[in-house]
Structure 1
Amino acid sequence: MTKVLAIEDDALLRDSIVNVLTLRGLTAIAAENGYVGLKLAQENLPNLVLCDVRMPGLSGYEVLKSLREDPNTATIPLIFLTAENTPEVMAMGADLGANGYLCKPFSTSELMIAIAPFVSDQ
C-alpha cells in the first residue's frame, strides 16, 4: 500500500490531508513539524512526502535537504505545500530537488492531481 507522509504545522490542514488520503485508500502518516517528519520519513520510507515550506524549527527546505543527503531517503518524491507561490520560492525548492508545489489553499481534487504521479493506490 502506498504511504504518504504529510509534514504540516497547521493541525487543521494536516488532519484534513490525512483524512483525504485515508479515504482514497492510501496510508497517511502525519508530522507536526520538520523534526518529527524527518524522523518518520527515515523510519517509514514513504512513497511520497507532502511538506510545508515555512515551519518553526526545521523548514521544509531543510527537511528536503536532509532527505536528499540520506541514501535511504534520497529518492523519495517531495511536494511542497506553500502559500508563497513566488518564482523565488519555487526556484529554491527546485534547486534542492523538490518534485512539485501545491499552493495553499488547495482543494481535494488539486491534492489528488498533484500526488497522482507518485502514488499507485488511488
Structure 2
Amino acid sequence: MQKTILLIEDNQDIRENTAELLELEGYLVITANNGTEGIRLAELELPDLVICDVLMQETDGYAVFSALLESTTTGHIPFVFMTAKSENADRAKALSIGYCDYLIKPFDENELFASVKKMLSDGGVENTR
C-alpha cells in the first residue's frame, strides 16, 4: 500500500524538489506552504508521515508538532523536522516535544529517504508512549 507523506515547507523550491524526490520513491505527497494549512491537512488526510520545516511564518514547526501530538486523530503520526538550524539546542527542543527525526538542510536524497524509512518503520510516537 502506498504511504502518504504530508510535506509542510514555506520555501516553494524546497517544497517542490522534496515532494518530487519522495514521489519518485513511490510516496503520495501532499504539500502545505505553512504550518496552519499543514495542521488542517494532517487532520483531514491523516498521512502516514509528516515532514515539516521548523522556521515558518505564523505557525512554526514546533507548534505544528505540538498541535498534532495533542490531537487524538493525529497524535500517532510520525514526524520529521527539516531545518537549516543545526544547533544541539534546536534538536533538543524538537525531541523534548516528542519522538521525531531531524533533517539538517541542505540534505541529500539518501538522508531524506533514510529518515522517512526509519520513521515509517518505527511507527512514530506510538513506540514512545
TM-score scaled to structure 2, two decimals?
0.90
How far did 1:110 drift?
Answer: 1.2
TM-score scaled to structure 1, two decimals?
0.95
How far did 1:31 drift?
Answer: 0.4
In structure 1, what is the equivalent of residue 28 of structure 2? 27
Higher relative contact order (CA 8 A, sep 6+): 1
Q: Aligned partners of 1:93, 1:107: CA distance in 2, in Å? A: 21
CA contact (8 A) 2:86 2:104 kept: yes
How far did 1:114 drift?
Answer: 1.0
Q: Aligned partners of 2:59, 2:120: CA distance in 1, in Å? A: 26
Q: Which ranges of structure 1 fall in alignment gaps of 5 or more residues?
A: none
CA contact (8 A) 2:8 2:38 kept: yes
In structure 2, what is the equivalent of residue 10 of structure 1? 11
In structure 1, what is the equivalent of residue 107 of structure 2? 106
Within-5 A mapping of 1:31-50: 31-50=32-51
Query: Which piece of structure 1 moves more, 93-102 or 64-73?
Result: 93-102
SS at match of 2:7: strand
SS at match of 2:80: strand
SS at match of 1:101: strand
Deviations 1:10-40 (A, max 9, x none): 0000001110111111100100000110001
In structure 2, give the amino acid aligned to 1:31.
A
Deviations 1:72-107 (A, max 9, x none): 000101000010111110111001114110000011
In structure 2, what is the equivalent of residue 68 of structure 1? 69
How far did 1:117 drift?
Answer: 1.9
What root-mean-square deviation, in Å, do the aligned CA atoms of Structure 1 and Structure 2 show? 1.0
Q: Aligned partners of 2:30, 2:119: CA distance in 1, in Å? A: 16
How far did 1:109 drift?
Answer: 1.2
Q: Which ranges of structure 2 fall in alignment gaps of 5 or more residues?
A: 122-129
